[in-house]
Structure 1
Amino acid sequence: MGADPTGLVGRDRELAELAAFLDEAGTDGAALLLTGDPGVGKTALLDATAELAVAKGMRVIRGSGVEYETDISFAGLHQLVVSLSRELGRLPRSLKETLEVALGLGVGPAPRPIAVLNAALSLFGEVAKEQPLLLVVDDLHVIDHASRSAVAFVARRLGGHRIGLLGTRRAESSGSFRPTGLAELEIAPLDDADALRLLSRRFAHLPRRILLTVAGEAQGNPLALLEFAGSTSASGAPYGGRVGWVSGQGREVRTLYAARVERLPQETRDLLLLAALEGSGDIGVLEAAGGPGLLDGLAPAERDHLVKVAASGRAVRFRHPLVRCAVVDGSTGEQRRGAHRRLADALADQPERRGDHLARATTAPDEVVAAVIESAAQISLRRGDAAGAIMRLRRAAELSPGQIDRRRRRSQAAYVAAWVAGHLEISHEIMREVRGDPAARSLAAAAAAGFLVLVTEGDADTALALLLKTIEQVPFPSGLPHGELETALFTLTLAGEYSGRPEHWEPLAGMLARFPDAPPAAAVSLARIHHDPGGVTDDLLRRLDDEIAQLKGETDADVVIRTALAASYLDRLPACREAVSQVIRDGRDGGAVGASMPGLIFVALDDLYAGRWRASADAAAELIALCEETGYHLFAQVGHYVAAMVAAQRGDLDACRDHCEAIWGWSGPRGLRRMENCAHQAAARAASGAGDFETAFRHATAICTPGTLPLFNPEAVWSAPDLVEAAVRTGRLDEARRHADAVRDADVARLSSRFALTSATITAMTSASEDMPRRFEEALAVPGIEQWPFEVGRAHLAYGETLRRQGLNRDARVQLAAARDRFEQLEARSWEARAAAELRATGMTRTAPGKAGAPLTPQELEVARLAATGLSNPQIASRLFLSPRTVSSHLYRVFPKLGITSRAALRDALEARPPEPPAARP
């Protein structure tokens, strides 16, 4: 067993590489993962490297994966941190408290996973300030997921920190082991010569023929070589009557360990079982579970080199993971359940660990135990461990005596899997169990089933029918809804929101009227905000601002996303940016993937409104790809909407059309009116930029009738500038005025500076000519509008166009130049071309390079000539054997090249063109 690490046989190459690794780690940081079969010598190489690191003046901190702690988040990280109490005390208070709460060393609000990872990196960096640090993590393949993420996180950020991270994992774990991104060094079995050399050095009394037999059976696995030879007599017969070996070194080594464990006193075996199931090796916990005299009871195992007690006497460690496996495998089911019960009693102050041990100790349904495990699941969820919450809720359901409680807990697990964790397969699997349960339908089941069918298939009809029917059967509370009813109402609100159809939102609106005022992130408030943004009270706005201000310390992804959802309707996303970005980062690190998709929506929208269009398009593309990968097809439609709006404002008509058609093709057949309206808004915006106001009016009025702002239709407000401008530019002044009056009467201007600017701009556009300048000046004087650059540019453009038509060219140039410069900064090419054309009409000749004056292609010229004769797009398409959309695209490119903004100017612009050189003629 205990070969001298400095005398390892056949490992010269590996030891040289590890020495070089230590040199790099001690100066600039490095990480390395040793991989190989069980017993191949990974741990021996770890030991040798640790000794060499100490000799080089490095501090060594060790931890290891524990198979029976894989469900306990940060159990592995706890091993690395617990011995650093002095350095932990030197950290800033926020970082110190983050680690203490996450590791169960303190109490307080549950931190975000990313905050725990940053705090751990800071702690290790603090240690490395005094001397280089080597973190050694054995058996990374069985470490809990949260700790594995921490190890990978730290490993990727070691540059310049004088920290080395050295880990091991079994090669056989590759099927379930998620890559960490660490560099790997594969540890291969010894070759025949080295295997014989090792055996000859350790077992010189055995005949060579026996050594050859052992070497052949062990197949170069060092642990198998030593154990097989150590259990063999000089005659070749295995000690203990064992006859021969079977294939599989790990299984054989485990069998040998099992024989050694079996020889121990029963009291020692009982204590070893407690240690194996407890996992951390904490002597305090083991003494509480096993009684006083623990170390005396473990002495036989320690003398047999099966366990090792730390010098401090406060921790016990198994010499090899297979020892732990042998201990557990050699116990009976009742012995394991008894050990788990004793550990649960010893961990009364640690709800999650206590719940886990009770879950394993209990076989028959028990509501008391189920309630404890459910409570532990809620704690897991609040601290960001969605996977742990799902596992615990499912186990609580299994132990629920009542059918209603069993179905409720399973449904909650399915909902968390879909909404927070982003694990649709697990959610579907749990819902199949729920559907097979004969219990009556529950709110939790309806919420989970409705959410699944909504986000995956876009079937709002089924989701709404299911939820409305179930909610109507539940007695309404006298106060605010909570628990299952709150979850069901939130899902119902989402379904009604995406549907956007009166037959769906009218029953919801009636239901909302029965509840009092609620916090902004509650389902009741979210539904009311979506129902009628203009009806939002000043008190609700103040409370929303207060809740947004508290998001910085919020760890519950659900709370962050709900608050940001309310903020998105009321132009308060910038203040939510930090918290939402944390949710997205957690999702990228394997945390709340489900919540990260709405998070990407809010980041993309925030960038869109702020004029960061490249970043907005990138977020939308990431959202679409993630949704297609995970099956959340509904959220992908919002990604297409954001991408379409970016393209519309950039002037990329083809890209905008592609995204709009993707939305219409998927959402139209499913009756998702809300998403159809979003596509019409983007199409109207693109047509307005291209000066095709007839098309813009058609799309804008597909959202709402001029002069009306339907309930549950926020796009009616968002698209108001497109509808009003298109109506004005196509001679529909009455419709334009009615719509501007409707927006002003809705009182949305008090909600945000963007809404105030929009309302003031469309009011100015529809005012009497003598009042227009004053109205535009009022619009551009609205406080806080600089955070909405596109809307500001559009207001300048409308103001300048109005002044030019009134013959005030000098004043018009000021506004048009401001609009042109703003659009140029935003790379809003079609809008920039509109402003430049208006400037030229005032007598100002400066144009952006490559725009006005650019040559027309032969087909563009033909389309322009036919359009100049008064033919419509369908008529032109018929003559040229093109589609009407292609004709529209050609005209969109022709207008800026000719420096015009309408079809009426085509004839004069074509006649004024210089003759084409002969080479350019067909």
Structure 2
Amino acid sequence: MTGVGYDPTGLVGRDREFGELATFLDRAATDGATVLLTGEPGVGKTALLDATAELAVAKGTRVVRGSGVEYETDISFAGLHQLVASLPHELGRLPRSMREAIEVALGLGDGPAPRPITVLNAALSLFEEAAKEQPLLLVVDDLHVVDRASRSAVGFVARRLGGRRIGLLGARRAESGEPFRPTGLTEVEVGPLNDADALRLLSRRFPHLPRRVLSTVARDAQGNPLALLEFAGSTSVSGDRNGHGPGWASGPGRDVRALFGARVEQLPQRTRDLLLLAALEGSGDIGVLETAGGPGGLGGLAPAERDHLVMVTDNGRAVCFRHPLVRSAVVDGSTGEQRRSAHRRLADALADRPERRGDHLARATTAPDEAVAAAIETAARISLRRGDADGAVARLRRAAELSPDRADRRRRLSQAAYAAAWVAGYPEVSHEIMREVQGDPAAQPLSAAAAAGYLVLVTDGDADAAHALLMKAIEQAPSGLPHGELEAALFTLTIVSEFSGRQEHWQPLVDVLAALPEASPTAAATLGRIHHDLRSVTDDMLRRLDEEISRLRGQTDADVVVRTALAASYFDRLPGCREAVSRVVRDGGAVGTSMPALVFLALDDLYAGRWQASADAAAELIALCGETGYHLFAQGGHYVAAMAAAQRGDLDTCREHCENLRDWSGPRRLRRLENHAHQALARAALGTADFETAYRHATAICAPGALPFFNHEAVLSAPDLVEAAVHSGRHTEARRHADAMRDAGLGRLSSRLALCVATITAMTSAPESMAERFEEALGLPGIEQWPFEVGRAHLAYGERLRRRGLSRDSRAQLTAARSRFEELGARSWAARAAAELRATGMTRTARGRAGEALTPQELEVARLAATGLSNPQIASRLFLSPRTVSSHLYRVFPKLGITSRGGLRDALEALPPEPPAGP
């Protein structure tokens, strides 16, 4: 081959493809490269992989190989296991944390479940270690049947090979229903041979056959190299030299897989038994095969090796099939009992690997067997802890099938349905499983009601149907229920009542909770009590919650992380949960729990003043919910986005998200979501000093002085209500609400709530104690982590000082407020602070066309009037009387050389720029 310097035996008609692969090897050996071969079965992809691997070795490159196995697609990291098994020495040289991550993920060691991103980085480091002494080529055949976790690892590595002496060469069938297209892999399509090349290949391999026979074979094989060789080979063995005979002219001999099957059938029974073990085991692990193969070891594989059906890797650790169709032929040629017997032997050989053992037991067992069902259920629980939600659901369903007791069957199916809905985020799968449960005439378990109620709530937003279903199941549930079933039902009922916010929903839940004992901070009963009334939370419960949060760093159960973060969100403890919640979102396969986890990340960013990050998380959440159909969680994204926009002063964006909230929640009577919209609109109105609008929205959430049950927004929006009431002259209502917040003792729950309660107390206090109260508020410990609330406190303090005529003192507070808001990007709030500063005389006065100077207050009145506000509205914003506003305007018009409000805008724009403000 021109320019290659190497001619692989047996490759005909592949000059273009092999030339590209030779170039790929040169790139990979210096700077890293990837190639993905695609084509139909038997077209020659594996032959090209083999030839490229041989050329790589000739060029001084180390080759490590793996292959997808269709019988192991539901075993996480089964494909990666093959590559890692070939690098034991390099694995031992990795840092301990990386080595342990790979060993735990692959089932080679014990320990806490590693983060998937840690496993992927460790795998990349392992391959880098292997490439230190010589370039490395990773070859992975049949990528279309590689398990999802290993496919992610292959894609992760492929996208990071730049600058590394590592090549990644893969192959997949073009007809695969789920194509593998990781970013960065250059695809090379392998097509059929043309007629001339097909005849040349046949003539080289079968020179004894007549030309007429070879032409007939070439026509029937349609350029597929594997079919060419197997058809012709079958003819040479069992047909006559004229091409007549049963070997290829008719029947199953025309199927290449059947021809491989014929070769397998000629092997000794002992060899076929060992081949079946190797095909079903998947990874080719010599140690497992030796244990499962029984006395005599693997010597029985020799006939298959001589017939070029299998080979043992160079390091002697694995058995590989020469072509994927050989593996298929071995399995197809076995009986059902032979396959079940092989699975049983493999299960015995994998006694120390519960997940893989459970998978083989699942395939080995046909009749109900509680011991087997329990083993598979154990494997499912391990899968959940590792974040393999798909595997957990599949294993729970199989455990249900093998459960002799109907109640156990229903319980396991219900757990699968709940995991599919809550953890995996697959509503269709959960619905399908629920249909199986509902088809059982016996009473339904609580976990079934939890799954059904959860689905109808998060997809349709039907709180009425979900509540009725759950309450009926709880009322009819027998005593002595498994703890997990009651937990799932109570947790779901709490979520239903929370979003409904209606007494007819939360009162029955409260009645159920009254009969339950004190529980952990993240238990369903405790979450229900928190949702019902924050005032019921004791200091001891807060201490225990802090302890739970401190343990999240090593927590791998996504459900536990989300429940802990849910409790923490009510007490401003989300920063302590952030690392664990981020792990759920970014690194796990738990799509269902990723959605509430994204809500918590967005809220944490919102409260901390990271508003762009908050909006980005909200947008990601809305998109994810659109993909999964979990529309309820999308409303959480709209709420956070609306609040971020409100505080930035982006009124159009705020209104758009609030309209989404109202349109979706209104017909469903989901009061909490309606309150979300009111809270965001009130906050937006306050930023523009539209206090009447703010008061209308704030009091739509709750009446002044009221803190209703199951209405967390009544607490969150309390500063909005009080501020709007104060600025609109409703001082009695403002004091009543501030008193209610203070008397409820909510300030003890978090530093943010303490600051809010102290600020509204100061805003409504008597003039003689006002300054002292504000100083106390701004001196509270831990408040710097809540920058927006601190800015509001400075603004309120400065406003009260200015209205008392203490302009010099007010400037310090208003300057602090303006600086804080400018840092946050809170444009409307910064403008409010700036307006107050100008009203103190902090800026130079401007001269109008008539040459007379405008006073600071005249300038501010003129600017507000230019926006179209009436005199009463201007008076409300500036804490003046309408008569005073009228007097200011009376003096402003001649100074600006105009005679009416219509000329204000142009006159003000014509004023010279204001110099920088100074003290």
TM-score, length-normalised on structure 2?
Answer: 0.91
Match of 2:192 in 1: 189
- Does the CA contact (< 8 Å) of 1:521 and 1:562 recur in 2? yes
Match of 2:324 in 1: 321
Distance 2:770 2:9 in 1: 89
Distance 1:210 1:661 in 2: 75
- Among candidates 652, 655, 672, match of residue 654 of structure 1: 652
Distance 2:242 2:358 in 1: 48
Does 2:677 correspond to 1:674?
Answer: no
Residues 917 and 902 of structure 1, relative CA distance in 2, 3 Å threshold: closer
Match of 2:17 in 1: 14
- Does the CA contact (< 8 Å) of 1:644 and 1:659 recur in 2? yes
- Does the CA contact (< 8 Å) of 1:26 and 1:162 recur in 2? yes
Match of 2:813 in 1: 815
Match of 1:180 in 2: 182
Question: Which runs of structure 2 are paired with 1:472-551 in the superposition (5 Å)?
Answer: 472-475=475-478, 482-551=483-552
- Among candidates 40, 49, 54, match of residue 51 of structure 1: 54
Quote the offset at 1:920 in angstroms: 7.0
Distance 1:456 1:670 in 2: 12
Q: What SS class does the counterpart of residue 771 from structure 1 fall into?
A: helix
Match of 1:702 in 2: 700
Distance 2:773 2:242 in 1: 103
Residues 119 and 653 of structure 1, relative CA distance in 2, 3 Å threshold: same
Task: Flag structure 1 segments of 5+ consecutive residues without an equivalent.
Answer: 871-890
Q: What SS class does the counterpart of residue 601 from structure 2 fall into?
A: helix
Distance 1:409 1:735 in 2: 55
Match of 1:451 in 2: 454
Q: What SS class does the counterpart of residue 241 from structure 1 fall into?
A: coil
Q: What SS class does the counterpart of residue 255 from structure 1 fall into?
A: helix
Does 2:80 correspond to 1:77?
Answer: yes
Quote the offset at 1:33 in angstroms: 1.2
Match of 1:331 in 2: 334
- Among candidates 428, 431, 456, match of residue 431 of structure 2: 428
Residue by residue over 1:342-374, the C-alpha shift from the partner in whole angstroms, topping out at 9 and shown as x without a partner, is: 222222222212211221122222222212211
Match of 2:152 in 1: 149
Match of 1:730 in 2: 728
- Does the CA contact (< 8 Å) of 2:86 and 2:317 recur in 1? no
Residues 53 and 903 of structure 1, relative CA distance in 2, 3 Å threshold: farther
Q: What SS class does the counterpart of residue 129 from structure 1 fall into?
A: coil
Q: What SS class does the counterpart of residue 132 from structure 2 fall into?
A: helix
Q: What SS class does the counterpart of residue 490 from structure 2 fall into?
A: helix
Match of 2:307 in 1: 304
Quote the offset at 1:726 in angstroms: 1.0
Quote the offset at 1:283 in angstroms: 2.5
Distance 1:910 1:836 in 2: 21
Distance 2:535 2:904 in 1: 61
- Among candidates 84, 97, 112, match of residue 109 of structure 1: 112
Quote the offset at 1:902 in angstroms: 9.0
- Does the CA contact (< 8 Å) of 1:113 and 1:586 recur in 2? yes
Residue by residue over 1:601-658, the C-alpha shift from the partner in whole angstroms, topping out at 9 and shown as x without a partner, is: 1111111111111111111111112112210010011111111111111112222122
Distance 2:867 2:879 in 1: 13
Match of 2:850 in 1: none
Distance 1:778 1:438 in 2: 65
Distance 2:889 2:670 in 1: 44
Residue by residue over 1:166-204, the C-alpha shift from the partner in whole angstroms, topping out at 9 and shown as x without a partner, is: 11111111x223533333211111222222222222222
Distance 1:681 1:412 in 2: 37
More off after superposition, 836-845 vs 180-189: 180-189
Distance 2:444 2:715 in 1: 39
Match of 2:100 in 1: 97
Distance 2:130 2:794 in 1: 58
Letter matched to residue 693 of structure 2: T
Quote the offset at 1:231 in angstroms: 2.0
Q: What SS class does the counterpart of residue 168 from structure 1 fall into?
A: strand
Q: What is the percentage of aligned positions where both structures have the same residue?
A: 74
More off after superposition, 291-300 vs 642-651: 291-300
Cα RMSD (Å) of the superposition?
2.8
Residue by residue over 1:692-739, the C-alpha shift from the partner in whole angstroms, topping out at 9 and shown as x without a partner, is: 111111111111121121222111111010011111112221211121
Match of 1:33 in 2: 36
Match of 2:294 in 1: 291
Q: What SS class does the counterpart of residue 400 from structure 1 fall into?
A: coil
Match of 2:824 in 1: 826
Distance 1:29 1:816 in 2: 58
Residue by residue over 1:766-824, the C-alpha shift from the partner in whole angstroms, topping out at 9 and shown as x without a partner, is: 10011111111111111221211111111111001000000010111111111112111
Q: What SS class does the counterpart of residue 468 from structure 2 fall into?
A: helix
Distance 1:807 1:918 in 2: 28
- Among candidates 625, 628, 652, match of residue 626 of structure 2: 628
Letter matched to residue 134 of structure 1: L
Letter matched to residue 565 of structure 1: L
- Among candidates 580, 583, 594, match of residue 596 of structure 1: 594
- Among candidates 354, 358, 361, match of residue 358 of structure 1: 361
Residues 238 and 553 of structure 1, relative CA distance in 2, 3 Å threshold: farther
Letter matched to residue 492 of structure 1: L
Distance 2:814 2:841 in 1: 12
Quote the offset at 1:402 in angstroms: 2.3
Distance 1:846 1:70 in 2: 74
Does 2:239 correspond to 1:241?
Answer: no
Q: What SS class does the counterpart of residue 111 from structure 2 fall into?
A: coil
Letter matched to residue 556 of structure 2: T
Quote the offset at 1:128 in angstroms: 2.4
Residues 22 and 612 of structure 1, relative CA distance in 2, 3 Å threshold: same
More off after superposition, 6-15 vs 697-706: 6-15
- Does the CA contact (< 8 Å) of 1:803 and 1:809 recur in 2? yes
Distance 1:307 1:434 in 2: 45
- Does the CA contact (< 8 Å) of 1:110 and 1:383 recur in 2? yes
Residues 291 and 699 of structure 1, relative CA distance in 2, 3 Å threshold: same
Does 2:779 correspond to 1:774?
Answer: no
Distance 2:708 2:330 in 1: 69
Residue by residue over 1:811-864, the C-alpha shift from the partner in whole angstroms, topping out at 9 and shown as x without a partner, is: 11111111112111222121111111111110122799xxx99xx9xxx99995
Residues 423 and 511 of structure 1, relative CA distance in 2, 3 Å threshold: same
Distance 1:200 1:252 in 2: 21
Distance 1:909 1:162 in 2: 77
Distance 1:902 1:49 in 2: 85
Residues 784 and 598 of structure 1, relative CA distance in 2, 3 Å threshold: same
- Does the CA contact (< 8 Å) of 1:257 and 1:326 recur in 2? yes
Residues 555 and 902 of structure 1, relative CA distance in 2, 3 Å threshold: farther
Match of 1:886 in 2: none
**Matched pairs, number:** 878
Task: Flag structure 2 segments of 5+ consecutive residues without an equivalent.
Answer: 1-5, 847-854, 908-919
Residues 575 and 161 of structure 1, relative CA distance in 2, 3 Å threshold: farther
Quote the offset at 1:475 in angstroms: 4.7
Residues 863 and 435 of structure 1, relative CA distance in 2, 3 Å threshold: farther
Quote the offset at 1:236 in angstroms: 4.9
Residues 767 and 323 of structure 1, relative CA distance in 2, 3 Å threshold: same
- Among candidates 370, 386, 405, match of residue 373 of structure 2: 370
Quote the offset at 1:907 in angstroms: 5.3
Does 2:405 correspond to 1:407?
Answer: no
Q: What SS class does the counterpart of residue 34 from structure 2 fall into?
A: strand
Distance 1:847 1:798 in 2: 25
More off after superposition, 447-456 vs 523-532: 523-532
Distance 1:28 1:846 in 2: 64
Residue by residue over 1:568-620, the C-alpha shift from the partner in whole angstroms, topping out at 9 and shown as x without a partner, is: 11111112112211211135xxx111111111111111111111111111111
Quote the offset at 1:29 in angstroms: 2.1
TM-score, length-normalised on structure 1?
Answer: 0.91
Quote the offset at 1:552 in angstroms: 2.1
